[in-house]
Structure 1
Amino acid sequence: MAAPIPPVVLITGANQGLGFAIAEIFSQSKQPYTVLVGARDQSRGEEAVTKLLSKKTNDKITVSAIQINLASSESITTALESIGKSYGRIDVLVNNAGIFGAPGKMWTSTTRPDWRAIFEVNVFGAIELVELAFPLLRKSSLPRVIVVTSNMGSITKVSQGHVPCGAVGAYYSSSKAAINAMVANWTQLQKDIKFWAVCPGLVATEFGGDFTKQHGRDPKDAADIVRMCAEGEKDDVVGYAIWDQDGKSGVYEW
């Protein structure tokens, strides 16, 4: 009889930045996992897998690349079909992929096509992936969905003056408010799956250019909150937008 497949963790946007750090956290866990490194470009995903395998600390963990582009319905469908055939289920879906501005226009996204590009990935693609993954998630005994968000998407915080990027970040902020609303809805409507919206804080990655690289915290520190959700350490705040930083943690208002 074939050995059972360890919990299947799909992480989008995992070939770099925070997504890579999340994949690294799982690849170095004491628990066995099947880590799927989602990447828009298959070759970049494979490069990330090579790096992760060189750092892997548990022989019961496997790491593989899967091509998935949240801006493409066809790519999402193809990826989920492949996962279904190979593994039969998804235990943890980490929706990490996202963009701050339109491609090539990080700080100057001022037109309808620019706004649409942001929402295609951060909202429409994220929603489509989660909803199309429901059948595979329901084949898990403990299905969990973790959506990486930002406190810039908290309408409460914005109304109180939390606009760190000003008008430049308004469309990113709005996209995160939209996906936050979906997490709140899924929590109410999909009672057999656990959901979190996770704010990693400012992380030292390429995501926001020089600003995030210079002022952000270590990506692995930020990634650990995702592991906490996956491994039951945040079950007391299921269905909320949460943060964990500098030894402190909490819930922020939608």
Structure 2
Amino acid sequence: MKTVLITGANRSIGFEAARQLLQHGYYVYLGSRDAHNGQQAVAQLKAEGFSQVESLHIDVTDSASIAAARETLGQKTKALDVLINNAGILGGMEQPASSTSLSTIKEVFDTNVFGVIEVTQAFLDLLRQSPEPRIVNVTSGLGSLTLHTDPSWKYYPVKGAAYQPSKAALNAYTIMLAYELRDTPFKVNAVDPGYTATDFNHHSGPGSVADAAARLVKAATLGPDGPTSQFFSDDNAPETGISPW
């Protein structure tokens, strides 16, 4: 049975991805910064008839929490097949480059970039024990530097000094990690779930949580001939599904 760890999975897209991967027969470790919320999410999934799921307390901005989560998971399984780095924060709706505080930018980067890197490095040894390891970094279409310089792009006016640069940095890390692991069975990709109606954006997005989660699941379940080092985005590139970096 394949195993997956999803960070920030006690609600929204992460929670739905957990549900869909359970439907695919995976054993799901549902990561949550708040242990109580994680347990509640697991209880809900079990009430729906899923048994192959348990919560894992992990705060991606806390090194001690990450280390403890790695130790706990290592006692439960010898291999991890999939890591979905889903935890992320927005940092507020208005982020002008001229005035957004450095503390806000650092806070967003701590979760969206440094948290992803530390979690990935902590669990990489367990992923190496899988015959087909997959790493899915949940990014945003707003992380495309190419599109941010294209006035014809539909999201061209949506600029921000914290969130957008954090996702661009995450994309860059994804490329570097995929390159390092290019001669291994790893598939390492960045996935934009699309502009989805969630608490994250005050339910302003037009997309559904189910569709957004399905995009993560697709990358998590890639076969051995699947791509690596890609920026998947149906929103940015509906015809090809591959966004420019």
Q: Does 1:144 align with 2:137?
A: no
Q: Which runs of 5+ in 2 are unaligned?
A: none
Q: State the Cα deviation string for residues 203-222 of structure 1 (Å, max 9, x = none).
A: 1110112xxx1433111111
1:181 alignment counterpart: 172
1:28–1:55 CA contact under 8 A, matched in 2:
no
Match of 1:13 among 8, 16, 22: 8
- Percent identity reads 35
Change (3 A) 1:38 1:165: farther
2:191–2:219 CA contact under 8 A, matched in 1:
no
Between the aligned partners of 1:16 and 1:199, the Cα distance in structure 2 is 17
| RMSD of aligned alpha carbons | 2.1
Change (3 A) 1:241 1:234: farther
Matches within 5 A, 1:101-180: 101=91, 105-107=92-94, 110-161=100-151, 162=153, 163=155, 166-167=158-159, 169-180=160-171
TM-score with structure 2 setting the length: 0.89
Q: Does 1:216 align with 2:206?
A: yes
Query: What is the SS of the residue equivalent to 1:166?
Result: coil
Of 130-139 and 155-164, the range deviating more from structure 2: 155-164
Q: Which runs of 5+ in 1 are unaligned?
A: 1-5
Between the aligned partners of 1:170 and 1:108, the Cα distance in structure 2 is 5
2:187–2:227 CA contact under 8 A, matched in 1:
no
Query: What is the SS of the residue equivalent to 1:237?
Result: coil
One-letter code of the match for 1:96?
N
Change (3 A) 1:153 1:247: closer
One-letter code of the match for 1:70?
V
Between the aligned partners of 1:119 and 1:165, the Cα distance in structure 2 is 22
Match of 2:39 among 35, 46, 49: 46
Q: Does 1:205 align with 2:195?
A: no
Shift of 1:244: 3.4
Query: What is the SS of the residue equivalent to 1:9?
Result: strand
Question: How many residues align structurally?
Answer: 237
Change (3 A) 1:188 1:108: closer
One-letter code of the match for 1:208?
N
Q: State the Cα deviation string for residues 225-245 of structure 1 (Å, max 9, x = none).
A: 222122226954321001236
1:194–1:238 CA contact under 8 A, matched in 2:
yes
1:229–1:235 CA contact under 8 A, matched in 2:
no
Matches within 5 A, 1:219-230: 219-230=209-220
Q: State the Cα deviation string for residues 23-49 of structure 1 (Å, max 9, x = none).
A: 1111222xx211011000000000000
Query: What is the SS of the residue equivalent to 2:188?
Result: strand
1:3 alignment counterpart: none
1:205–1:216 CA contact under 8 A, matched in 2:
no
One-letter code of the match for 1:68?
I
Q: State the Cα deviation string for residues 122-142 of structure 1 (Å, max 9, x = none).
A: 000101111121111001111
1:228–1:234 CA contact under 8 A, matched in 2:
no
Shift of 1:13: 0.5
Query: What is the SS of the residue equivalent to 2:19?
Result: helix
One-letter code of the match for 2:149?
S
Query: What is the SS of the residue equivalent to 2:5?
Result: strand
One-letter code of the match for 2:11?
Q
2:80 alignment counterpart: 90
Shift of 1:107: 3.7
One-letter code of the match for 1:155?
L
1:27–1:52 CA contact under 8 A, matched in 2:
no
2:196–2:204 CA contact under 8 A, matched in 1:
no
